[in-house]
Amino acid sequence: MDHSDPLERATKPRNRGETWTDEQFRAARDSDLEERTVDVRSSVIAALSCLLLAALLTSGKIVEIAERQELGDTRDRQLAVAERLDQVANFFSLNRPYDLILDIRGAGKDVGERVDDLSALAASTTTVPPTTSAPTTTAVPGSTSSTTTTTTTLPILRTITAGRPLTVYVAGDSQAEYLGQAITTEHPDWDLEVEIADRISTSLARPDYFNWPAELAAVMDDRSPEAVVLFIGANDHQDMASAAGSRLVEGSPEWRAEWMARLELTLDLLAADDRHVFWVTQPPMRDGDLLEGVALINELAAPVVAARPHVTAVDIWDLFGGDGGYVDDITTDDGNTIDARVDDGVHLTRSAASEVADLVFDEMATVWDFGD
C-alpha cells in the first residue's frame, strides 16, 4: 500500500487494531503539505520591494520618527529622506490608508500630540506675578542634610473628605508612571483621585513631539485637577528650536532663556485659585552627559519655581546621591537599603518612587487638610 496516496488510504480496508507507525502517518500527512520554495533572486527582490512599498505606505510614521530625533545633522538627513519618501507616497496616495486607520482608531487624541506651536498659548496665558518667599525646610529621609523646599506659607485650601476627594494629576515623562502609581497607592487613608499622564520621551524642549503646555491647558480646562505633580526634565537635555525656527544649542544662553520661558509658561497656565503644583526635581543620573543635563534643568527650574506661590519644588537631588553623584541604593527613613534605580541608571524603582511620593505627600499636607 502506498501510504502517501490519499485515495489508496481511503479505499483500502483496514483490519481492526491495525495501526500505522508514526513514521507512516507523518509521511502521509506531510506529503500534502509541501511548501513551494522560491528562487533566491526572486525572494530577495520580493523582500526588498516589500520593504520599499511598506516604507511608502507608512511614510507618515517614518517622518514622525525622524522628527522626533534630537536636533542636529543626523536628524536633518533622516528628515530629508523621510520627507522625500512622504512626497512620493503622497503623490500616489499610498499613505492615505495608514492615515485612515489612525483616524478610525482615534490615535493622536491627546492635544499635546496635535499642537506643535507654543506661541498661541503664550499669548493667551497670564503671567503669574513673581513673589519672594521664605524657604522652609523638609527633612529628606535617609539623608544627613536637609533639602530645602521653597514655598510661600499659604492658608489651607480646603479639607479633603471622602465625599470630595482631592483630584491629583501626575504628569511627565516615563518617570511619572511609577511616581503616579506610588501616589495612588501609598496613602490609602487619604481620599485621592489620581490620574496619571506619563508620556514616554517627552520634554519641554520638544513641543513638536509632545506639547506639554498645550496638553496641560486642555486638561485644566476639561477636568481642573486641584493638585498637579510634574515630573519632567530628563529628556530636555537636547537642542531646541526657537519660535523663529532657529536651532538653540543646549546650554547656550539663548537655550537657557527659552527653556525657562517654556517652564514659566507651563507653570503659569496651571495657576488657579484652588490649585497647587508640585515640581519634582530631577535626581542624579548615572550617565555623565545626562547628569550634567539634569543638573542644568534643576538649576534653571529653581528660580522659576521659587517665584511662583502656587508651585512647590520637591527636591529629590540629595535623596539620590546629591552632589556626591549617582547612587544605586538609598537608605530609607526606617533604615532599610533599597534599590533606587533600574538597570538603565535613569528610572527610579518602584520603591524609590514611593520615597519620592512620601515627599510629595509631606508637601500636600501643608496645602490641604486631610483630617489626619
Partner 1 sequence: MLFPTFTFAAFFAVVLPVSWVVRQHATAWKLFVLSASYLFYGYWDVRFLLLLAGMTVVNEIAAIAIHRSGNARVRKVLVITAVIVDLLVLGFFKYYGFFLDSFDSVFGLSGPALTVILPVGISFFTFQAISYVIDVRRRDCPPAPLLDFAVYLSFFPQLVAGPIVRATEFLPELRANRVPDSLETGRAVVLIGRGLFKKVVVADFLGRAVVDDAFGTPGEYGALDILTGIYGYAIQIYADFSGYTDMAIGIALLLGFRFPQNFDRPYAAVSVQDFWRRWHITLSRWLRDYLYVPLGGNRRGRSATYRNLMITMGLGGLWHGAAWTFIVWGLLQGGALAIERLISEIRGQPDIEFDAADVRIRELARLHSGAEVDAWREDPTSPVPFSPLEVRRLWLGRLITFHFVCAGWVVFYAGTIEGGGLSAAGDMFTGLLSGWTTTPELLNPLVALVIIGAIAVQYVPPLLGRQLSAMFSTLQPTLVSIGFAVWIMVVVALGPEGISEFIYFQF
Cα 48 from Cα 50, distance rounded (Å): 5
Cα 295 from Cα 24, distance rounded (Å): 72
Is residue 261 a contact point for partner 1 (CB under 8 A)? no
Of 33 and 123, nearer to partner 1 (C-beta) is 33
Of 247 and 287, nearer to partner 1 (C-beta) is 287
Of 200 and 257, nearer to partner 1 (C-beta) is 200
Rule CB under 8 A: which of 269-308 touch partner 1?
286
Closest separation between CB of residue 345 and partner 1, Å? 7
Is residue 105 a contact point for partner 1 (CB under 8 A)? yes
Closest separation between CB of residue 273 and partner 1, Å? 30
Is residue 120 a contact point for partner 1 (CB under 8 A)? no
Q: For residue 239, report the phi and psi dihedrals to the nearest 5 degrees.
A: -65, 155
Closest separation between CB of residue 102 and partner 1, Å? 6
Is residue 130 a contact point for partner 1 (CB under 8 A)? no
Identify the helix (H) or strand (E) that includes residue 194.
strand 192-198
CA 362 and chain centroid, separation: 25
Of 231 and 279, nearer to partner 1 (C-beta) is 231
Cα 238 from Cα 203, distance rounded (Å): 10
Of 138 and 181, nearer to partner 1 (C-beta) is 181
Q: Which stretch binds partner 1 (CB under 8 A): 26-34, 140-148, 240-248, 300-308?
A: 26-34
17: phi > 0 → left, psi -120 to 50 → alpha, else beta; which?
Answer: left
Contact 348, 356 (CB under 8 A): yes
- Which is nearest to 171 in space by CA: 122, 204, 124? 204
305: phi > 0 → left, psi -120 to 50 → alpha, else beta; which?
Answer: alpha
- Name, in order, each residue with C-beta under 8 angstroms of 321's C-beta and a sequence gap of 6 or more: 283, 284, 327
Q: Which three cell numbers stand for residue 210?
A: 509632545
Is residue 27 a contact point for partner 1 (CB under 8 A)? no
Among 260, 261, 338, 365, binds partner 1 (CB under 8 A): 338
Q: What b/e string do you get for 94-118 counting C-beta neighbours within 10 Å, with b at 16 or more?
A: bbeebeeeeeeeeeeebbbbebeeb
Is residue 250 a contact point for partner 1 (CB under 8 A)? no
Q: How far is CA 8 from CA 5, 22, 33, in A?
A: 5, 18, 18
Q: Which stretch binds partner 1 (CB under 8 A): 18-26, 122-130, 158-166, 312-320?
A: 18-26
Of 33 and 244, nearer to partner 1 (C-beta) is 33
Of 75 and 350, nearer to partner 1 (C-beta) is 350
Is residue 31 a contact point for partner 1 (CB under 8 A)? no
- The conformation of residue 102, written as its DSSP 8-state character, comes to H
Is residue 181 a contact point for partner 1 (CB under 8 A)? yes
Q: For residue 157, report the phi and psi dihedrals to the nearest 5 degrees.
A: -70, -45
Is residue 83 a contact point for partner 1 (CB under 8 A)? no
Here's the x/- map for partner 1, 185-204, by CB under 8 A: it reads as x--x-----------xx---
Among 116, 328, 358, 362, binds partner 1 (CB under 8 A): 328
CA 88 and chain centroid, separation: 32
Is residue 62 a contact point for partner 1 (CB under 8 A)? yes
> How many residues of this chain bind partner 1 (CB under 8 A)?
70
Closest separation between CB of residue 125 and partner 1, Å? 27
Cα 173 from Cα 100, distance rounded (Å): 28
Is residue 39 a contact point for partner 1 (CB under 8 A)? yes
Contact 95, 60 (CB under 8 A): yes
Q: How far is CA 308 from CA 161, 263, 333, 356, in A?
A: 27, 11, 30, 22
Among 49, 131, 145, 161, binds partner 1 (CB under 8 A): 49
Which residues bind to partner 1, rule: CB under 8 A? 6, 9-10, 13-20, 22, 25-26, 28-29, 32-51, 53-55, 57-58, 61-62, 65, 97-98, 101-102, 105, 107, 177-178, 181, 184-185, 188, 200-201, 286, 328-329, 338-339, 342-343, 345, 349-352
